[in-house]
Amino acid sequence: MKVAIYSRVFEAAQQPDIQLLIGALERNHITPVIFEDFYRQIREAIHFEQEPLLFQSSEDLDSSFECLISLGGDGTLLDTVTLVRDKAIPLVGINFGRLGFLAGIGREEVETVVEALTHHTYVKDERSLIHLDSDAGLFGATPYALNEFAIHKRDTSSMIMIHAYLNGAFLNTYWADGLIVATPTGSTGYSLSCNGPIVFPDAGSFVITPVAPHNLNVRPIVVPDNNVISFEVEGRADSFLCTLDSRKEIVSKQVQLAVKKEQFSIILLRLNGSNFLQTLRNKLSWGLDRRN
């Protein structure tokens, strides 16, 4: 069995936890395959029983991997979505960051994770993705996101007008700083911070949430994810920002954009005994009443 390990940056405080992970994997005869840029950062600090295998890009990953372990926060885990693509390699997020909503496994649970991988005592959660179609070939080979697609004005420019359509039928014109189309997974991210609703991960829907709308009667709306949502953008500036999760591109107003559900999905692994409701309560303090 082999697992891939990805992280962005190594910090000295992480050394004991990473060493614990590598040691536990090797004791259980699981071969760690390290992201090359990350290995350059840790090779002087981490001891390996033998020289580890390395990978550089998505092309080096295939279905022979049991999973890909992300060491970091939610942003790091979102990076791995562009690495595994449609290869159905499950993702495990170990939280070395702050909130860790997607990367929900604590660093104190490293040995528990390895035991779960060894005995296959984990739960698989399938998460849908959002796919972007454009006539400008935006985002190259990875025009999809786990959390959200967003249109946003640039810097301090004036608000923009976003005309949105569902399967070609006019939905609304949003006078706003931007517009978010979130997956159920992304409903607890950027969309939530803009007063969007929380949606269960298996809800089969998109959440359309305006960013700082200039109309008091404009509210987020939930639509089935079998819709194609298209956009026309107007504004004083000649361009705007288009984002997929943490990736962004500057786009001309003339570019045609539409989003839909991606044809493939992503698999997240979680430990037995944890679930979405527990994560809501523990990470977002959902339902917390300090009077009781």
Side-chain-side CA neighbours of 48 within 13 Å: the count stands at 14
**Cβ proximity of 245 and 181 under 8 Å:** no
CA atoms of 49 and 15, how far apart (whole Å):
16
Catalytic residue among 17, 37, 74, 86: 74
Whether residue 81 contacts residue 48, with contact meaning beta carbons closer than 8 Å, is answered with no
Candidates 274, 270, 254; CA nearest to 103 is 270
Q: Whole-angstrom Cα distance, residue 9 to residue 6? A: 10
Does residue 202 have an active-site annotation?
A: no
Closest C-alpha among 197, 201, 200, 204 to residue 225: 204
Residues labelled as active-site residues: 74
